[in-house]
């Protein structure tokens, strides 16, 4: 097991590397206040890592921690954009509003559709109905049902594939 780094060693590390680290972060961020925030959070991470005995390379760790703090918001934004895009793409197919060129289903097709929906596994049927009837997004469905957005996505796709089996007249 690693041994925690002494507080005096962390203080020395901070004193010796604060300015170079701040300059490094400042070059990567457009606003000085952003750089100040990242450097402060970086030193908090260094202190926590040192207390747990996880501070192996005292000089490299702050730079890696700062880099992660800089790129994490971009990663999170990209993930949210990807999730929103997936939701939009899937919900186009789950949306009950008729798209141009579509027509209403006749009574026999509706009975067939009801039978298909009733035959779905319970969770897939639940996700399909929340998306179709309640117009909920995948993330919202996941939260409500206690499953991940990806799991909700999989259940909705399974339901949509099954619903595609309604015979066309």
Averaged pLDDT, groups of 10, the chain, 169 residues long: 64 86 88 85 86 77 87 64 53 50 66 84 91 87 90 88 71
Q: What is the residue extent of each domain of the chain?
A: 7-80, 103-163
Whole-angstrom distance, CA of residue 5 vs CA of residue 54: 8
Q: What is the pTM of this model?
A: 0.43
157 contact partners, CB below 8 Å, separation of at least 6? 90
Domain spanning 103-163: which CATH class is it, in words? mainly alpha
| C-alpha to C-alpha distance for 142 and 80, rounded to whole angstroms | 15
What's the rounded Cα separation, in Å, for the pair 5 and 59? 13
Residue 116: both structure tokens together:
């298909």
Could you identify the residue written with the tokens 């990807």?
82
> Which pLDDT value is given to residue 99?
46
62 Cβ contact partners less than 8 Å away, ≥ 6 residues apart: 13, 17, 21, 42, 43, 46
């Amino acid at each position: 097991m690693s041994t925690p780094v002494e507080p005096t060693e962390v203080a020395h590390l901070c004193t010796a590397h604060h300015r170079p680290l701040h300059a490094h972060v400042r070059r990567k961020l457009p606003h000085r206040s952003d750089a100040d925030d990242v450097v402060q959070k970086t030193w908090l991470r260094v202190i926590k890592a040192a207390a747990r005995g996880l501070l192996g390379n005292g000089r490299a760790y702050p730079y890696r921690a700062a880099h992660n703090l800089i790129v994490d918001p971009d990663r999170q934004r990209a993930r949210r954009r990807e999730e929103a895009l997936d939701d939009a793409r899937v919900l186009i197919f789950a949306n009950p509003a008729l798209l141009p060129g579509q027509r209403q289903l006749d009574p026999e097709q509706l009975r067939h559709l009801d039978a298909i929906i009733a035959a779905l596994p319970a969770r897939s049927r639940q996700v399909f109905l929340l998306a179709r009837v309640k117009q909920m997004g995948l993330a919202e469905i996941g939260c409500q049902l206690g499953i991940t957005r990806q799991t909700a996505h999989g259940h909705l796709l399974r339901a949509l594939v099954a619903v595609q089996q309604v015979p066309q007249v």
